[in-house]
Amino acid sequence: MEHEPEPERPEDRRDLGRPRPTWSLIVLPAVWLVLGALGGVAIISVVRSDDPPAASAEVSKGASAEPTATKKPKAQKSEKSEPTAKATKKPKPEPTTEPTVEPTATRSIAVGVYNQIGIGGLAARVAGQARGAGWNVAAVSDWRGSVPQDTVYFPAGQQAEAALLGQDLGIVRLMPATANMSSSSLTVVLASPR
């Protein structure tokens, strides 16, 4: 019995020596570019967010604060190609109080110093500067939240003390304390390496 040779199979020529379609060379990098741009926009919007901050430690005794996560709705850009009067106006800068020391300001109010950016020892170092200037530092800790720059937050009636503390520490941004902050002490939030 003689063995029959198998019939020759035609060679499979799928994708052999054939160039890739040009659409894949254009579409795939474009998709990655768009995804990268969206990721960059998301990161920038989180970094520049002015959401109310939330403290990880409370300065006041006996008071508790529950951090809340709220997001402000973002304005959408117009798709018109010609600028309008509204589009060309520059946004007004956030109101800040210039650090002017009033004669009634004293260094007797308690101070909490918080590190928002995670540099080890930053809050302790700045707290040491405050103590050296005569302030009573009651708390040193980390801060959870988003504050755009170094800020001294003050409770009602304590703006003069906040200005004095800001002057002692070289912090120009002064803001009224938010609901989750102490109503009896100044709160310093550090947002730069200093």
Domain total of the chain:
2
> What pLDDT band is residue 104 in, cutting at 50, 70 and 90?
confident
Nearest to 135 by CA among 106, 115, 157: 106
Residues 6+ positions from 172 with CB-CB distance below 8 Å: 96, 98, 99, 166
- Tell me, what CATH number does 132's domain have? 3.30.70.2390
Using a pLDDT cut of 90, give the percent of the chain over it.
Answer: 42
CA distance 134 to 159: 17
Pair 46, 100 in one domain: no
Given this model, what pLDDT does residue 12 score? 56
Query: Which residues constitute the domain of residue 38?
Result: 21-50
Pair 125, 33 in one domain: no
Pair 107, 192 in one domain: yes
Number of C-beta neighbours around residue 148 at 10 A? 15
**Has residue 135 got a pLDDT over 80?**
yes
142 against 26, higher pLDDT: 142
Determine the average pLDDT of the residues in 147-165: 96
> Six-digit token pair at 39?
């990721």
101 against 8, higher pLDDT: 8
Render pLDDT for 72-87 as a digit per residue (tens, 0 to 9): 444 444 444 444 545 5
> What pLDDT band is residue 105 in, cutting at 50, 70 and 90?
confident
